[in-house]
Homo-oligomer: A and B are copies of this chain.
Amino acid sequence: MSDLDLLKRLEQATEGTFWHFLGCRLIGWDSSRTVVNLRVERRHLNHLGVLHGGVQAALLDSAMGLACGKSRPDEPIVTTNMSLHFVSPMTDGDLIVEARLIHETRTIMTAESRLYASDGKLVSMATGSYRIARHLPEPPSLRSSGGERKNGSGGAKP
């Protein structure tokens, strides 16, 4: 499958999901590096006016999941665990997340990811473990209007 096909499939697959709700954009996706962008808005901040740790976690996780999915495009991948270090608060501008797959076995993938402010300053970093999910729960009715999901046809995890 070509990269364009993968990107189209990603766009369709993420319609209405948290990825879309946050406002993420995939701007680079090859075997060595996955790059995700977000324009920080007020709704991404916490009450202190700094980028919420949860937004950072969502982006770092999504980018690592995509890096893993690049290597296993036809398998549903879920996060097993993730560790984050927040090193510098960010308040506005565009952020860039870069993720790389570091190691993979038949069932477990390990990735790392970094989130940078638009001036290139490191904001946070993460490592995570991902696994091929052979058995996922049935989609509930609330998603019936949002299209179908087929196990095994997920690919990336944005």
**Interface residues, chain A, CB within 8 Å of chain B?**
10, 13-14, 16-22, 40-50, 52-55, 57-59, 61-62, 65, 76, 78-93, 102-103, 105, 108, 110, 112, 122, 125, 127, 129, 131, 133, 136-143, 146, 149, 151, 154, 156-158
Pairs A–B under 8 Å by Cβ, sample size 17? A13-B47, A19-B47, A19-B52, A41-B142, A47-B149, A49-B136, A50-B137, A53-B57, A53-B65, A57-B57, A80-B86, A80-B108, A81-B81, A82-B83, A82-B86, A85-B129, A88-B103
Shortest C-beta distance, A151 to chain B (Å), equals: 8
- Picked from B52, B146, B156, the residue with its CB within 8 Å of the CB of A17 is B52
